Amino acid sequence: MLSGISWPQLLIVLVIVLAIFGTKKIRNLGSDLGSVVKGFRSSMSEAEAAKEQLDNDSSASTDDANFDNTPAEEPRKDA
């Protein structure tokens, strides 16, 4: 992945990034990124729980669409 980049080159890039943004912004960026990951994980677990709830509800109510119990048609009244 990083076959063409050596450790001294990465260190120089890190120093340049620190000089441009400063440690405070990078620290805030890290905490913001952590909050995003935490929110994503909680949303995924909520969605999975909702899906399981729907699966459980749909398997329990299989009689909702039973069309065999429909009444027969009434005969026509020809006048």
Distance (Å, whole) CA 29 – CA 18? 12
pTM of the full structure: 0.47
pLDDT tens profile 40-78: 999 999 999 999 888 887 665 555 555 666 666 777 777
Question: Which sequence spans correspond to the domains of the chain?
Answer: 33-57
Q: Are 29 and 20 in contact (CB under 8 A)?
A: no
Q: What is the dihedral of CA 7, 11, 12, 13, to 10 degrees?
A: 100
